[in-house]
A and B are shown apart, each in its own frame.
Chain A
Amino acid sequence: MNKVLKRRFLEQILVMFGREPKKPAVQSERAVRMHELKRMTNKAGLQAAQDAHRAHQEHSHKWRNRRWATLLFANLLFVVSFYFDIQVLEGALTASRFVGFHLIDLNSALQVMLAHKHIINNLLIGTGTVLVLWVLLGGRTFCSWVCPYHLLAEITERLHLTLVKKKLVTDQTIDRRLRSVFWVIFAVLAIATGYTVFEAISPTGIVSRALIYGPGLAMLWVLALLVFEIFFSRRAWCRYACPIGLTYGVVGIISPLRVKYTLEGCFHEGDCRKVCLVPHVLDTVIKGRAVDTEVPIGPDCTRCGLCVDTCPTGSLKFEVKGLAKLL
């Protein structure tokens, strides 16, 4: 990793905690040169190239379909496992056993450890396994590829976007630092009161248990969140509130699996930022912002692949760091 990328890497961690992305202070020479070249390009020629691209653009849903299939498979495996008593994946998303191996959600485990202040072996084993798993798979990959609330919110997001298009509602943005504040508040509450209060309102846990053990009134809270997101603020829970997302985001800092941006072919049209749950990680695609010719996307990225699907030029691609070198 060169100096400018290292700097961006650290900045992206701050961005995850809620800082607004800024114009980069330093850029690599080759990036500066490429930005310069892009500025000098004949406008009409560029427009023609863009139009040609648009005309031949395939609307792919490859990654979304794979992701939804994975998400449904994982959640239904819990349901099927209990319903038919086949004991493949027992428990719920907060803690489970996959053919006997303990798996424990990192945020739930953290809440329990902070509240109970006593850690038994099973808890440690389950948490360790899941930690390694998500370090390898990308941290917030959990959010978009496993969390059942994410899928519900993704569906209701369409409703929100339709209403926005009809000018019936506007997306009311909220300060992203709030998520970090919530994370700290819930951690302190767990330590101070000895009760895992976040688990009581965690829509991930509530929806997961509702699927497996049948829905309860706690789903009303989930419904309230979805209504808030439809009429008031786009994807508010995942963007501004959920401490689970931040926990997995921190795990994803060192993950080798990520989306990589290539500056060269990008037309800077911003389609990717429109579909992104966390558009602040894609600030690098704005004209003149990329600090290098190839920029890995930061840890707050959920690796959902919507940008990869939507990019007309293939400038955003999944990448496993170091894999290319190995092969």
Chain B
Amino acid sequence: MSDTRAPLSKERQQQARRRVLRTILLTGGVLGAAVSGYLPLAYAKKQRLRPPGALDEKDFLASCIKCGQCVQVCPVQAIKLADLVDGFGVGTPYIDAREQACDFSCDAVQCILACPTGSLTYHKPAFLPVRAGAPLAAKPVLLAKEKDAEPTLNLAERIGVARLTRPESCLAIQGKGFKGQARGADFKGELRYMDVDRWKPIKVADHPYDAELCDLCVRACPIKGAISIETVFAPDGSQRKSPVVHEPCVGCGVCEMICPTEPASIEIIPGEGWRA
């Protein structure tokens, strides 16, 4: 075939060669950028808090279509979308519990309902693995609708577990009380307070506390029986009061958000399972 064609001029040959080079350049550029997309997989071990009902991290990254519909339905804007530098996958939703935790003021885990791909799901498909300690023993009872006919949240797995990561700074353990705005006057986070408004969340700053012994995490917790103040023994044998997390904890992060110490004494460990 080639001998029937007129040989290309030098100039033409050079043009063709340059074109091939440019094609390779664009290929490399786009694929190079695409590799940055894999950072979240590399970071997948570093856990981050996803919205309620999220699949395990790898499956979550596979199925999330990055549309932000979960962001749109959240009444307290707890869900944010990750940016390039976050390394969570551009456009995937996450919760920064310290800034704004999920307090279930939507009553029904609306973000799961909004998800079009099943990244957030009520019922995990059978073929997907279940993390050890992730399944909840029973459907969690939402204190806000405890008296309703259907008081539970449709959640089968927890997204994390609260842990007293800094017991040394916990006010309850120190036997201290707390009076005032939990996170200061400038804090923008919101919570639903049943005694204020059944439906409308208000700013935490607009709801000052007065506790003889600090128990803000217990007061704010939206889940029945997830946390309580118990008498514990310190290593030196002395009796202390301390917040203790129980099995119903779903990992919503309200305790981390409300904790008045800086940094928070109690934190959510994302993706963590329950250990008795």
Q: List chain A positions with a Cβ less than 8 A from chain B.
A: 82, 90-97, 102, 104-105, 108-109, 112, 115-118, 120, 122-123, 126, 172-175, 178, 181-182, 185-186, 189, 193-201, 205-206, 209, 212-213, 216-218, 220-221, 228, 233, 236, 240-241
- Are the CB atoms of A92 and B66 closer together than 8 Å? yes
Note all chain B residues with C-beta closer than 8 A to A116: 59, 62-63, 117
How many residues of chain B get a CB closer than 8 Å to chain A's CBs?
47
B229 interface hit (Cβ, 8 Å): no
Which B-chain residue is minimally distant from A236 (CB atoms)? B26
- Are the CB atoms of B84 and A94 closer together than 8 Å? no
- Partner pick for A196 among B62, B69, B83, CB 8 A cutoff: B62
B31 interface hit (Cβ, 8 Å): yes
Nearest-Cβ distance from residue A175 to partner chain B, whole angstroms? 4
Note all chain B residues with C-beta closer than 8 A to A112: 62-65, 117
- Partner pick for A217 among B30, B64, B84, B118, CB 8 A cutoff: B84
CA distance A63 to B248 in the complex (A): 59
CA distance A221 to B81 in the complex (A): 17
- Is the contact region of chain A dominated by helix, strand, or loop, or is it mixed? helix
B91 interface hit (Cβ, 8 Å): yes
Note all chain A residues with C-beta closer than 8 A to B118: 118, 120, 122-123
CA distance A173 to B25 in the complex (A): 12
- Are the CB atoms of A194 and B116 closer together than 8 Å? no
- Is the contact region of chain B dominated by helix, strand, or loop, or is it mixed? helix
B143 interface hit (Cβ, 8 Å): no
B220 interface hit (Cβ, 8 Å): no
Question: Which residues of chain B in 50-108 are interfacial with respect to chain A, using CB atoms and an 8 Å cutoff?
Answer: 58-59, 61-69, 71-73, 81, 83-85, 89-91
Whether A175 contacts B23 in the complex (CB less than 8 A), given A194-B62, A209-B68, A216-B84, comes out as yes
- Are the CB atoms of A194 and B66 closer together than 8 Å? no
- Partner pick for B69 among A91, A175, A178, A221, CB 8 A cutoff: A91
Note all chain B residues with C-beta closer than 8 A to A209: 66, 68, 81, 91
CA distance A123 to B73 in the complex (A): 18
- Partner pick for B30 among A94, A105, A199, A201, CB 8 A cutoff: A201
- Are the CB atoms of B19 and A241 closer together than 8 Å? no
Interface string of B1-40 (1 = CB under 8 A from A): 0000000000000000011101100110111011011101
B235 interface hit (Cβ, 8 Å): no
- Are the CB atoms of B22 and A90 closer together than 8 Å? no
CA distance A275 to B31 in the complex (A): 29
A97, A195, A217 — which one has the most chain B CB atoms within 10 A of its CB? A195
- Are the CB atoms of A220 and B22 closer together than 8 Å? no
Nearest-Cβ distance from residue B25 to partner chain A, whole angstroms? 8
Note all chain A residues with C-beta closer than 8 A to B22: 172-174, 233
- Are the CB atoms of B19 and A118 closer together than 8 Å? no
- Are the CB atoms of A206 and B91 closer together than 8 Å? yes
Note all chain B residues with C-beta closer than 8 A to A240: 23, 26
Note all chain A residues with C-beta closer than 8 A to B121: 120
User: Can you offer 18 A-B residue contacts whose CB atoms are under 8 A?
Assistant: A90-B72, A92-B68, A93-B67, A94-B65, A94-B67, A95-B65, A96-B67, A102-B116, A108-B65, A116-B62, A118-B127, A122-B117, A172-B22, A178-B27, A195-B40, A216-B83, A240-B23, A240-B26
B41 interface hit (Cβ, 8 Å): yes
Which B-chain residue is minimally distant from A240 (CB atoms)? B26
CA distance A83 to B59 in the complex (A): 30
Which A-chain residue is minimally distant from B26 (CB atoms)? A174
CA distance A109 to B29 in the complex (A): 25
